[in-house]
Amino acid sequence: MSHQPSAKYRADYTSPDFTITHIDLDFILDDTQTVVTAVSRVIKQNQDATTLVLDGEDLKLVSLQIDGSEWGDYSTTENSLTINNVPESFTLTVKTEINPAGNTKLEGLYKSGDAFCTQCEAEGFRRITFYLDRPDVLAKFTTRVEADKGAFPYLLSNGNRVESGDLDSGRHWVKWEDPHAKPSYLFALVAGDFDVLRDNFVTVSGRNVELEIFVDKGNLDRAPHAMTSLKNAMKWDEERFGLEYDLDIYMIVAVDFFNMGAMENKGLNVFNSKFVLANDKTATDNDYLGIESVIGHEYFHNWTGNRVTCRDWFQLSLKEGLTVFRDQEFSSDLGSRAVNRINNVRIIRGPQFAEDESPMAHPIRPEKVIEMNNFYTLTVYEKGSEVIRMMHTLLGEENFQAGMRLYFERHDGTAATCDDFVLAMEDASGIDLSLFRRWYSQSGTPVVSVKAEYNSEEKTFALTLRQDTPATSDQKEKQPLHIPVDVELYDNTGKVIELQCNGKVISNVLSLKETEQTFVFENVATKPYLSLLREFSAPVKLHYDASDEELQFLMVHARNEFARWDAGQMLLAKHIKANVLKVQSGEALNIPESLIDAFRGVLLDKEIDPALVAEVLTLPSENEIGGWFEVVDVDAINSVRSAIKQRFAQEMKDEFSALYQALKQAEYSIEHSSIGKRTLRNLCLNYLAGTEQGNELVEAQYTHADNMTDTVAAMTAANTSELNCREALMKDFSGKWEKDGLVMDKWFILQGTNPAANALENIRVQMSHPAFDIKNPNRTRSLVGSFCNNNPVHFHAKDGSGYKFLAEVLTELNTSNPQVASRLIDPLLKFRRFDVARQGMMRAELEKLSVLDNLAKDLFEKIDKALNA
């Protein structure tokens, strides 16, 4: 790196010296020489300002005019254009040339296959033209797009299509007008030849909205689920949040080359095809659910993100945390609330807690940023959503919705801050959130330690809660937070005990605000069973020394499904931890019969939703287990987890077999009950794969599967249990799907997570597979990402080969696509969590990367933090 990239600080925010109220864009599309003309109405905001500084990157400036005359008084740097001595208000015309085909970073205007498309969030618009590329500059956009009509029959942009025409030599043009002022990051343009699925939605006030989903030719039969999800999302937002869509058209385009999941551009969402395309033959149940959630998420952004946007990028969680909360509620209202909550909590307890312990630790509203793309994190998104959820828990649905209405009343059409949001919630509810605001500025995972004491004479039960947040790499000093702790007490018959304090019945949600607080409950006739942190009411680690007997009681008697699952997880955690210590000290494992019986009880209980049974019987991932230890011993963790799985399989094989037979369904359907049964059946198969009948069962399921969920489940079982049939199944699958990258991603993931000794050698071979392309982020994440994140034993191989492999891939991606590189590097940053030998090897790879002479700022920011933390 020739010079160190500079950081921006939240505290340094100042409003812009100039604003832009209108911009007319004109694109003459060409693969390598697209000409962009931007005519902007610029107005001075700060009377002392005389120079206008615009952002720009990888642009060729062709001409510059002010009020129609050439303007020579300017200078450029690598990232900016400074125009001197400008008037109070003026029309600025900037003509630039860009190279979409050469844009492998997939930011700005680029080619995805044969189509042109854009990605502007966070700072991609500056790769299209010189502009005030910041979210607090809101302008009305018109966009004219011109291209060859044969190759690009569809020319799309934001808003409504207002004019079009044909030109000589087979070219044509279309003009779009977006009536809503927006920041540049919400701009979009797409040009290509597609198949289109059309439908419509009539809003609650009776307006008709045209819905269009654009997919690659031949993929129309994979678009209906996305359309259904979109209509469900539009209806749900009207019913639950009272929010109606505001344009006459809503378009979604699916592209194969995309850095993330999808993008909420106003009226024209661009999606990674992974989150649009699905049919029974190509998609798994999880793919269907993922599509529903991402389609919902992007649609919900229309209000939380687009109508009210962020003042600056430090406020990202204002739109992302809130929109994740909304999409989680959407999925929970449509499907199983318990299963959705469990999956969200697994993400927080696994990778989000790990992020808090890594050199990248940051509050949900970061203080310092070098590359904004590095902050689209689990902390900003998922923990951000937990923070919104805590407000929802403290306020209740009615007050929360009143807060939402007030937020829109105050901020619609503007760029707002996280503080604005909390203030609206506080003002609408009358509930004091002053201490709660610390969740926005404090990073790290609080630990809540619990002591419980029953007094049989006084008939009182005293609960002492203590909070401590360990220091994080970004912030040493921590303060107490306002933590909602949802608790319930049961008597020994499983009856709920009402919570009474000082003679009054109180809510189940206790507000822990000080470092230590004791809550004394009265009229508790017998020593109660305690269910803690129900619904995971706060993103904290819980330290409570519950006995096996208590946890087994809660697994059966807690009245809330999440709490029953959680008790099972705590029970597993106790035994996994104890056994890892045994392995480390060379002792024999101890997996008591009572543990197996507790889980057998759940398996045999016909009353429990099969989807929930499957969650209860799913062991925590190796990564989550790693998070429980100061030094992660990947080999010991792997052997204990495998041993428990194997023991469960052997001891419960009759129950697994019986369920496997009983849960067979005649037809495939994506009804939630049907998905639940299939999930449980495939969980049984996964356990059975480790028994004598494994190979036969798995092979038979693969051969007879009539849907992708069952096919992938069979392959996963063969992969995890290293069955004899694995090779044959993998070969058959790639023979069938070689031409379909999205389907092949499932196969690449299996190669990446292969437990076999030669896994890495084989992964290197697969990088030359005809379906693999390192320029395609989905392929790279499937093969390389799954290896580094979900194959801990091989990624952390003692000879350092896994680290070396990742560093090689990163060296290549550093120039072609730094954003993807910067996601992949995360496991390497966490070197401090491993033993000395591994630390040394991981650090050595980071050091090699740090001296690359063209190191992208995305990687620079992370490597610098990791090495200098």
The pairing of beta strand 541-543 with beta strand 447-455: parallel
Which residues in the 112-151 window bind ligand B3K by CB under 6 A? 121-122
Nearer to Zn ion, 319 or 541 (CB): 319
Q: At closest approach, how far in Å is the CB of 7 from Zn ion? A: 24
Using CB under 6 A, which of the segments 217-225, 257-265, 471-479, 756-764 binds ligand B3K? 257-265
Q: What are phi and psi of 492, to 5 degrees?
A: -75, 0
Q: Strand order in 488-490's β-sheet? A: 496-497, 488-490, 529-531
Q: How far is the CB of 734 from Zn ion (least distance, A)?
A: 34
Q: What is the rounded distance in angstroms from the CA atom of residue 59 to the CA atom of residue 80?
A: 10
Nearest approach, Cβ of residue 834 and ligand B3K (Å): 29
Nearer to ligand B3K, 301 or 341 (CB): 301
Distance CA 759, CA 778 (A): 20
| Count of CB atoms situated within 10 Å of the CB of 644 | 20
Closest separation in Å from C-beta 307 to Zn ion: 14
Residue whose C-alpha is closest to residue 744's, from 274, 394, 430, 87: 274
C-alpha span between 121 and 108 (Å, rounded): 9
- How far does CA 698 lie from the centroid of its chain? 32
List the single partner that 121 binds among ligand B3K, Zn ion, none, CB under 5 to 8 Å by kind: ligand B3K
User: In the bound complex, what is the minimum distance in angstroms from residue 327's beta carbon to Zn ion?
Assistant: 8
* 3: exposed, middle or buried (Cβ count in 10 Å: 0-12, 13-18, 19+): exposed
Residue 766 contacts which entry, ligand B3K, Zn ion, none (Cβ below 5-8 A, type-dependent)? none
Binding region for ligand B3K (CB under 6 A) out of 15-23, 255-263, 333-341, 455-463? 255-263
Residue 229: CB minimum distance to ligand B3K, A? 15
Residue 213 gets the label, from left (phi > 0), alpha (psi -120 to 50) or beta, of beta
Rounded distance, CA 463 to CA 530, Å? 10
Catalytic residues: 298
Site for ligand B3K in 261-280 (CB under 6 A): 262-264
Q: Which residues pair with 262 in a beta bridge?
A: 271
**Residue 608: how many CA atoms within 13 Å on its side-chain side?**
28
Residue 235 CB, shortest distance to ligand B3K, in Å, is: 20
Place of tokens 């070219």: 171
Closer to Zn ion by CB, 184 or 814: give it.
184
Piece in contact with ligand B3K (CB under 6 A), picked from 157-165, 259-267, 351-359, 467-475: 259-267
For Zn ion, the closer CB: 233 or 713 = 233
CA pair distance 574, 566, nearest whole angstrom:
12
Task: Tokens for 113, please give them.
Answer: 């296959």
- Of the ranges 273-281, 295-303, 569-577, 710-718, which one interacts with ligand B3K (CB under 6 A)? 295-303
Q: With the CA atoms of 286, 717, 809 and 258 taken in that order, what torsion angle do they form, in degrees rounded to the nearest 10?
A: -20
Binder of residue 422, out of ligand B3K, Zn ion, none (CB less than 5 to 8 A by kind): none
Query: Smaller CB distance to ligand B3K: residue 64 or 247?
Result: 247
- Minimum distance from residue 123 beta carbon to ligand B3K (Å): 9
Residues 297-316 that bind ligand B3K (CB under 6 A): 297-298, 301
200-235 in b/e burial notation, b at 16+ Cβ within 10 A?
ebeeeeeeebebbbbbbeebeebbebbbbbbbbbbe
Residue with tokens 């500059």: 137
Residue 628, contacted partner among ligand B3K, Zn ion, none, CB below 5-8 A by kind: none
**If binding means CB under 5 A, how many residues of this protein chain bind Zn ion?**
2
Closest to ligand B3K by CB, 188 vs 278, is: 188
β-bridge mates for residue 92, sequence order: 40, 66
* Dist CA 48 CA 196 (whole Å): 51
The entry of Zn ion, ligand B3K, none that residue 376 binds, CB within 5 to 8 Å by partner kind: ligand B3K
Chosen residue from 129, 282, 336, 373 binding ligand B3K by CB under 6 A = 373
- Say how many C-beta atoms besides its own lie within 10 A of residue 573's C-beta: 15
Q: Which is nearer to ligand B3K, 260 or 637 (CB)?
A: 260
| Residue 380 interacts with which of ligand B3K, Zn ion, none, CB < 5 to 8 Å by class | none
Cβ 844 vs Cβ 851: under 8 Å: no
Q: Which is nearer to ligand B3K, 264 or 486 (CB)?
A: 264
Question: Six-digit token pair at 597?
Answer: 């019986």
Question: CB within 8 A of 114, min separation 6: which ones?
Answer: 151, 192, 193
Chosen residue from 17, 95, 140, 376 binding ligand B3K by CB under 6 A: 376
Tell me which DSSP letter residue 621 carries.
Answer: P
Q: What angle separates helix 316-334 from helix 285-300, to the nearest 10 degrees?
A: 130
Note whether 201 and 252 are within 8 A (CB).
no
Nearer to ligand B3K, 258 or 490 (CB): 258
Q: How many CB atoms lie within 10 A of CB 332?
A: 15
Site for Zn ion in 272-331 (CB under 5 A): 320, 323
- Select the binding partner of residue 122 from Zn ion, ligand B3K, none (C-beta < 5 to 8 A, by kind): ligand B3K
Q: Name which of residues 789 to 828 contact ligand B3K (CB under 6 A).
A: none
| Smaller CB separation from Zn ion, 186 or 428 | 186
Which of helix, strand or coil describes residue 537?
Answer: coil
Q: What phi and psi, each to the nearest 5 degrees, are found at residue 98? A: -135, 165
Q: Which is nearer to ligand B3K, 262 or 616 (CB)?
A: 262
Q: CB of 203: closest distance to ligand B3K in angstroms? A: 22
Burial class (CB in 10 A: 0-12, 13-18, 19+), 851: exposed
Name which of Zn ion, ligand B3K, none residue 632 binds, using a CB cut-off of 5 to 8 Å depending on partner kind: none
Instruction: Pick what 216 binds: Zn ion, ligand B3K, none; C-beta below 5 to 8 Å, kind-dependent.
Output: none
**Residue 263's binding partner out of Zn ion, ligand B3K, none, with CB under 5 to 8 Å set by partner kind:** ligand B3K
711 binds, among ligand B3K, Zn ion, none (CB under 5 to 8 A by kind): none
**Least distance between ligand B3K and beta carbon 121 (Å):** 4
Q: Please report, for residues 182, 299, 367, 418, 738, the alpha-carbon distance to residue 312 in angstroms, rounded to integers and kept in the order given.
A: 14, 22, 12, 10, 44
Using the structure block, give the residue that is written with the tokens 């499957």. Answer: 614
Q: Least distance (Å) from ligand B3K to the CB of residue 184? A: 13
Total residues contacting ligand B3K (rule CB under 6 A)? 12
Considering only the stretches 52-60, 260-268, 329-337, 827-835, report the one whose residues sit in contact with ligand B3K under the rule CB under 6 A: 260-268
CB of 373 to ligand B3K, least distance (A): 4
Residue 689, preceding bond cis, omega within 30 degrees? no
Q: In angstroms, what is the minimal distance from the CB of 376 to Zn ion?
A: 8
How many whole angstroms separate alpha carbon 229 and alpha carbon 250?
13
Nearer to ligand B3K, 360 or 763 (CB): 360
User: Is residue 745 a contact point for ligand B3K (CB under 6 A)?
Assistant: no
Whether 273 and 215 have beta carbons less than 8 Å apart is answered as yes
Q: Which option in Zn ion, ligand B3K, none does residue 260 bind, with CB closer than 5 to 8 A by kind?
A: ligand B3K
Q: Which of 215, 260, 602, 603 binds ligand B3K (CB under 6 A)?
A: 260
Would you say 304 or 429 has its CB closer to Zn ion?
Answer: 304
Is the distance from CB of 173 to CB of 146 less than 8 angstroms?
Answer: yes
**57 touches which of ligand B3K, Zn ion, none (CB within 5 to 8 A by kind)?**
none
**Of how many residues is the chain composed?**
869
Using CB under 5 A as the criterion, which residues of the chain lie in contact with Zn ion when the complex forms? 320, 323
Using CB under 6 A as the criterion, which residues of the chain lie in contact with ligand B3K when the complex forms? 121-122, 260, 262-264, 297-298, 301, 320, 373, 376
